[in-house]
């Protein structure tokens, strides 16, 4: 491997974030609490759902882009995400990410460079990420499962670029929803073929061989490094979804704090 092929070093979490308190998910999952505490928690969760619904209802059809927060500017995956974000914005999509640095920043940056609209859906973590400077709106969630619902509910497609546990969690969450028929006409695009190839070898090898999944479960995933191919798959499915959903949103309510782009 030549020096030009060696990826730049990544920064550890504390250098790009700040310490926060005990995550809300950790308190939620630590076991049963008193009835009063559980009722209060249920109310907070409902409030967080409501906040997300009102913040994202009128932002337009989104494409969610996930990937590592540790990918440095100038690296090939950063530039791939940046190009994709620009192409999505040029096609009229809102680009939604986790709102942090790395791949997320790159996708939001590409969208803004093409005068598109960018949204960040943050999550409170022990290493809490700061919003990148390419966002039109930044919504922070305390619970992972609430954030996941928002990212799926307001997106017409999902794109995964190279990342770690969080990216794989989101990728397989959506793949499971599609496999079980919970969502339809929802393209999943995986970009960064050399990075993800071992995973696809495992999916098509042991998992299919042992009949843990079917071949069409993997065939649904668009595996490419081409922004053109990714955009074509997204546009084809989005055209059908937009007719069913985004045309029935009603009017914005100032009382509820609803805003569009």
CA distance 202 to 208: 8
For the whole model, what pTM was predicted?
0.82
Query: Yes or no: is domain 44-244 CATH 3.40.630.10?
Result: no
Summary mean pLDDT of the chain: 85
pLDDT digits (tens, 9 = 90+) for 35-91: 898 899 999 999 999 999 989 988 888 999 999 999 999 999 999 999 999 999 999
pLDDT value at residue 183:
85
CA distance linking residue 167 with residue 231, whole number of Å: 20
**What confidence score (pLDDT) does residue 16 get?**
38
**Please, which residues bridge with residue 97 across strands?**
120
**CA 246 – CA 91 distance, rounded (Å):** 16
Give the other-Cβ count within 10 Å of 177's Cβ. 17
Tokens 């630590």, located at residue: 30
CA distance 105 to 131: 9
Helix (H, G, I), strand (E, B) or coil at 69: coil
* 44/38 Cα distance (integer angstroms): 10
pLDDT of residue 118: 95
CB 188 within 8 Å of CB 171? yes
The rounded distance, in Å, linking the Cα atoms of 201 and 210 is 14
- Once rounded to an integer, what is the mean pLDDT over residues 213-224? 94
């Amino acid at each position: 491997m030549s020096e030009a092929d060696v990826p730049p070093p990544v920064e550890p979490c504390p250098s790009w974030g700040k310490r926060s308190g005990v995550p809300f998910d950790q308190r939620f999952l630590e076991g049963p609490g008193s009835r009063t505490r559980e009722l209060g928690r249920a109310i907070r969760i409902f409030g967080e759902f409501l906040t997300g619904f009102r913040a994202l209802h009128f932002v337009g059809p989104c494409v969610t882009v996930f990937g590592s927060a540790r990918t440095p500017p100038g690296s090939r995956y950063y530039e791939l995400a940046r190009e994709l974000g620009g192409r999505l914005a040029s096609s009229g999509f809102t680009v939604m990410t986790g709102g942090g640095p790395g791949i997320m920043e790159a996708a939001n940056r590409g969208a803004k460079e093409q005068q598109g609209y960018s949204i960040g859906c943050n999550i409170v973590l022990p290493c809490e990420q700061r919003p990148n400077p390419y966002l039109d709106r930044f919504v922070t969630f305390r619970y992972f499962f609430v954030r996941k619902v928002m990212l799926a509910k307001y997106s017409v497609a999902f794109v995964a670029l190279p990342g770690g546990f969080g990216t794989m969690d989101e990728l397989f969450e959506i793949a499971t929803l599609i496999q079980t028929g919970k969502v339809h006409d929802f393209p999943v695009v995986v970009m960064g073929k050399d990075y993800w190839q071992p995973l696809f070898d495992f999916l098509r090898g042991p998992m299919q061989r042992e009949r843990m999944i079917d071949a069409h479960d993997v065939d649904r995933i668009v595996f490419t490094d081409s922004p053109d191919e990714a955009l074509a798959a997204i546009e084809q499915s989005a055209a059908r979804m937009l007719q069913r959903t985004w045309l029935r949103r009603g009017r914005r309510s100032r009382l509820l704090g609803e805003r569009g782009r």
